[in-house]
Structures are given as structure tokens and as C-alpha cells.
Amino acid sequence: MRKKIFTILLALAASVGMSWADTYVTITQNDFPESGHSFTKDGVTVSVGLGGGSFSTTLGNFTHIEVMAGDVWALGEGWSGDDESQIWSGNASSVSFSGDILSMGQGITLLFTIGDPAPTYTVALKAGTANADKVTLSATSAVEGATVTVTPNEEYEIKAFKATYNTTEELSTSFNAETGAYSFTMPAYAVTIEAAIALKPVPEGDIFAGFTATAGSGGFDNEGHANLVDNKFISSNWTKWCTNNDHKSVPTGESGDACWWIDFEASAALNLTGYILTTGNDSGSEHGRNPKNWLLKAKLNADDAWTTIATVTNDVTMKNQSFKDYKFFVDQSGTYQYFRFEVFANQGASVMQLCELRLIGTEASEPVLAVAYTLQLHVNDAAMGSVAVTNLLGSDIFDNGDGTYDVPEGAEVTLQATPNEGYEFIGWKASSTICDFADCEFIALPTNDNPMTIGMYQEVAIMAEFKASDPTAVENVPTNPVQATKILRDGQLYIMYKGTMYNVQGARVK
């Protein structure tokens, strides 16, 4: 049987006020049973066990660890070397290793270099940040190189995020679409976070419940699929759909993976914008039962093909809470009467459960109001020219009479800039905020097409920019006799147009 022998050499850096010292400790196989073993020597703790362990210290931070032996397996993340020596470099008070450190009897040397604890720097939201208590910072102080994460609470989202240090320098950040969290790497400075934190948008409309279940994959006794749509979902009056893998099947008329599924229908067609899932009665104590991957399908008529109107994969929204409502948007709104809900995976428990599914929208007999955005028009100087919407006739664009227009989402708007005499149009600028002209922050658009057509998907202010014409510039002078008169003077041919004389090349004659 091969022995594992650990000989430890501690090199304590002068920066912690200690002289270099060599300490040797020998550990045999009997010192650490399979359950693991820890020992401390001169401020360094070594925890070992089968398959891995860790080194930690209270003296400062490890900056270098070297494992020298006759047979060293790869020690995991952060380590490098070969089968005779593995090296870790960094700045941490605790360092993990994986795998085994083996010896054929000649012993193993572990060399630790310890320095001052790394300085920490503060992390804080900017003073006055709205809803600052609706996010969680993974750290309020951290060492250089550490990762700091800012995570919004369940019903909130971070709509804008910026982390700055050294007054004006901006850090690179990463965004996790599943959790809505932002992360950054800590610099050697205090960090101030500017964030716009707001309630998540939810589908708007009436909430419909009490549908008729027509088919499904079943569930446990008295806990079948029909309970999902029976309008019983509060603590004093509830049922639930509770099922396991034995009840999975391929939905009627489909091919592919088996799932937990239910078909249900509404008494009348609905204009659908979203849906609500309500967790079961014991989700707070029986974790992992909530759905993780699912589809919602719909159709208007019974004979129509199913359309997938919502797809959710690896959901992190629903939590282990009982009788908790979660609202979701559909990916494809529309008018539907028949519905199919398919769950392919839950959060890891042996059963899947839900208390209720309800729909959000309006009855199809009620008009659905289209989303409208405000378009605001400006010119840089009203004396130089004007701008107008030219496709008002026959459209749903509404002129408010004050330079603003209400435009349906996705509608196209055609703008025409018209310069006054002596001026010329030179381009378009835009602002994403409706504003007074003096307060607008315009940026140039990458086009000077005139007229210009844009699609409306947000509110926007557009400015047509003009400037005075260059009186010496070559112009395209009309040669139509009705508009221009040819004049022969001093043996030269000239063109008189609107009281101004030009040579035949089109240059104005002073």
C-alpha cells in the first residue's frame, strides 16, 4: 500500500512582520481517514481527504503554493505544472485542490509563501438610487480581482447598469439573462454603482380562470391535470396537478418527447397577452417541484394546427414558495380559444406540481388597443425650413397639433424636410427622449435621405437640420424657358433665374 506523506515548509514573508522559517510536518496515511482530516501548524491549516482538500491561513494571503512530490496528480482550477510539481499563484487566504497528492515513500514538500492580506475596496450603490433595497450585492467590499455581482429581487429588474471607479472610469460588466444580475471584476479602487431598478413589467388585461380541461397526461389520485384549470388556487380552497415521470406521455397528435401535458379551452375566444402559473400548496417545503422547461400552445379553431405562443427553458423565476403567482408574457399574442400546456422538466424533484394556470388578456369581442409611441418633430431653425409627416392620409397616425404625433407600434412614418429659400437641408438628428428643443440631446442619423421613412418601435424626437445656402456654390439651374431666361451680354451667354444671374456652368455671377 502506498503511503501519503505530507512534509510542509512554511515560508512566512517579511511583509507580515515575521522572519523566514522552515517547519516540517509529517503526516501518514493513518492521519486522515476517508471522512477527512484537518490539522494546523504555524497558522496554516491543511484539510485533506479522498479526492481533494484545501489549504487556509490566518496569517495573511497565500501568494504562492508549490507541491513537490514524486507523483502529483493535476490539482484543479488555478494549478499548473506536471506530475512531479504543481504550482498555484494568486492572492487568497484559502486555496482548494482536487485529486490526490501521492508519494512512493520519498515524502512530499508543500511550500507556502504568505504575504500581507490584500487590501479591500468598498462597493456601493450611488446615493439616492431608487429601489436600492431591491437588489443584493454579493459584497460591499472586495479585493482587487474579485468578482462582484448585483442581483435584483424576484419581482424587480435592473434596466440600466454602470459601475465606475476613480471618479469617471467605467468598468466592463457582464449580464446574466437568466438571473438578471450584473457582474464586474473589482479594481484597486472603490466602486460606485449607478443602476435603474424597477418592477418587472407584467402582462396587462383581465385575468381569466375556470377553463374546461379536455385531455391530458394525468397525475396522482385526485391530483390529475384537470386541477390545473379548475379555479381553485388559494390556501383556503385549492387543488393541484401533481404528477411524476410515470405519467409522462406524448400529447395527442404529436410526436417527440414525452411530457406532462393538458389540453383546455375557454368558453369564448380571448385576445391573449400573458398567463399566470400558481405554485402548489407545499412548494415551500417540498423543493424542486416547480416546472423548469415548458411550452404553451394555442389555436383559435378546434381544427387549426397548434401554434407555440410561449417557450420557457431553464426557468429561474419561480421559487420554492407555496401559492405564489408568477406572471409571464406570451411570445406571440393573438386571438385564441383552445390551449395546450406542456411541461418537459421540473426543478429536480421526483414529482412535478402546479396549483393553477390562468390566462391574461381581453375577450375577443373587446377591441385591443394597439401600443402607440410619440413622435416629436423639430427643426434647428424655423426660419430655415420645416418638417412634416407626409403619410398621414389613410394611416392610423394621429397629429396632436403641437409637433407631436401618436404612431402605432411598428407603423412606418415618412418625413419630408423642406428648406426655405436661401437655405438647404443637410441631414437628420434624433433623440430617444421627447423634450424641449433646448434640452434635447440629438445625435446624427446615418442617413440624409429626404424624404425619410422610419418604423416606430419607441418614442423618438427627430430634428431636420438646415443651413444657409452657399451663394458661390454651383447650382442646378433650370433651363426651362418658363423658369429661366437666357441672356447674351458682352459676348457671353448667361441665365437669369428668379432675379439672379448665373453663367452656363451654373455658378452665380456677382
pLDDT digits (tens, 9 = 90+) for 372-401: 889 999 999 999 999 999 998 878 888 888
- Parallel, antiparallel, or unpaired for β 412-419 and 452-455? antiparallel
d(CA 384, CA 371): 34
pLDDT score of 265: 97
Question: Is 238:355 a contact under the CB 8 Å cutoff?
Answer: yes
User: What DSSP letter does each residue of 145-189 carry, written as one string?
Assistant: T-EEEEEE-TTEEEEEEEEEETTTEEPPEEEETTTTEEEEE--SS
* pLDDT for res 197: 92
pLDDT attached to residue 313: 94
Ranges 22-26, 32-36, 275-279, most confident: 275-279
What one-character DSSP code corresponds to residue 369? P
pLDDT tens-digit series, residues 243-263: 999 999 999 999 989 999 999
pLDDT bucket at 419, cuts 50 / 70 / 90: very high
User: In whole angstroms, how far apart are CA 308 and each of 298, 328, 340?
Assistant: 7, 14, 9
- Cα gap 278→271, rounded to integer Å: 21
Give me the percent of the chain exceeding a pLDDT of 70: 81
The sign of the CA dihedral 41, 46, 48, 51 is negative
Question: Cβ neighbours of residue 136 under 8 Å, at least 6 residues apart?
Answer: 150, 151, 153
Residue 350, pLDDT score: 96
Is residue 408 within 8 Å of residue 371, measured between CB atoms? yes
Q: How far apart are CA 237 and CA 398, in angstroms?
A: 49
pLDDT for the residue 492:
64
Best-predicted range by mean pLDDT (81-85, 132-136, 451-455): 132-136
Distances (CA, A) of 62 to 3, 43, 448: 27, 12, 61
Q: What is the arithmetic mean of pLDDT over 234-238? A: 94
Query: In the predicted model, is pLDDT for residue 32 greater than 80?
Result: no
pLDDT band with cut points at 50, 70 and 90 for residue 476: low
Question: What percent of the chain is modeled with pLDDT above 90?
Answer: 50
| Residue 360, φ and ψ in degrees, nearest 5 | -120, 130
Beta-carbon contacts of 8 under 8 Å, excluding residues fewer than 6 positions away, are 23, 24, 25, 41, 44, 46, 109, 110, 112
| Chain-centroid distance, C-alpha 107 | 52
The grid coordinates listed for 5 are 506523506
DSSP-derived letter for residue 246 is G
Burial of 320 (0-12, 13-18, 19+ CB in 10 A): middle
pLDDT of residue 71: 67
Q: Could you read off the pLDDT of 38-76 as tens digits, one per residue?
A: 777 777 888 877 677 888 888 888 888 888 766 676 788
The residues that bridge with 122 in the sheet, in sequence order, are 141
> Which tens digit of pLDDT belongs to each residue from 183-228?
999 999 999 999 999 888 888 889 999 999 999 999 999 999 999 9
SS3 breakdown of the chain: % helix, strand, coil, rounded to 5?
5, 50, 45
**Residue 509 vs residue 30, higher pLDDT:** 509
Least confidently predicted of 318-322, 386-390, 504-508: 504-508
Contact (Cβ atoms closer than 8 angstroms) between residue 497 and residue 484: yes
Residue 25 pLDDT exceeds 60: no
Residue in the structure block whose three cell numbers are 446615418 = 446
Count of residues in the chain = 510
Mean pLDDT, range 89-94, rounded to an integer: 84
**Domains of the chain by start residue, with CATH:** 6-115 (no CATH), 120-199 (2.60.40), 206-363 (2.60.120.260), 372-468 (no CATH), 472-510 (no CATH)
Where in 390-475 does DSSP place strands (E)?
Answer: 398-399, 404-408, 412-419, 423-431, 443-444, 452-455, 460-468
| Most confident region among 177-181, 209-213, 365-369 by mean pLDDT | 209-213
Q: Which of 196, 141, 143, 192 is nearest to 171 (CA)?
A: 192
* Cα pseudo-dihedral 280, 283, 284, 286, rounded to 10: 140
**Cβ neighbour number for residue 296 with a 10 Å cutoff:** 25
State the pLDDT confidence band at 21, using cuts at 50, 70 and 90: very low
Q: Is the pLDDT of residue 510 over 60?
A: no
Bridge-based pairing state of the strands 71-72 and 61-68: unpaired
C-alpha angle with apex 458: 452 to 459, nearest 5 degrees? Answer: 80
Question: In this model, does residue 110 exceed pLDDT 60?
Answer: yes
Strands 307-312 and 325-346: unpaired
Higher pLDDT, 190 or 440: 190
pLDDT at 221: 95
C-alpha cell recorded at residue 108? 512530499
**pLDDT mean across residues, the chain:** 84
Whole-number Å distance between alpha carbons of 114 and 56: 11
Q: What is the pLDDT, as a whole number, of residue 90? A: 82
Residue 219 is predicted with a pLDDT of 97
Q: What is the pLDDT of residue 201?
A: 86
| Phi, psi values for residue 48, rounded to 5° | -130, 155
The reported pLDDT for the residue numbered 108 is 66
Residue 472 pLDDT more than 90? no
Tell me if 212 sits within 8 A of 235, measured CB to CB: no
pLDDT band at 505 (very low <50, low <70, confident <90, very high): low
Angle (nearest 5°) at CA 463 between 459 and 464: 140
Strand-strand pairing, 325-346 and 372-379: unpaired
Look at residue 100 in the predicted model and tell me its pLDDT: 66
User: According to the model, what pLDDT value does residue 507 have?
Assistant: 65
* Site of grid cell 411530457: 259
- For residue 403, which phi and psi values (nearest 5 degrees)? 90, 0
Enter the DSSP assignment of 477. -
**Dist. CA 428–CA 425, nearest whole Å:** 9
Q: Distance between alpha carbon 142 and the CA centroid of its chain, in Å?
A: 24
For the beta carbon of residue 396, count every other beta carbon within 10 angstroms.
11
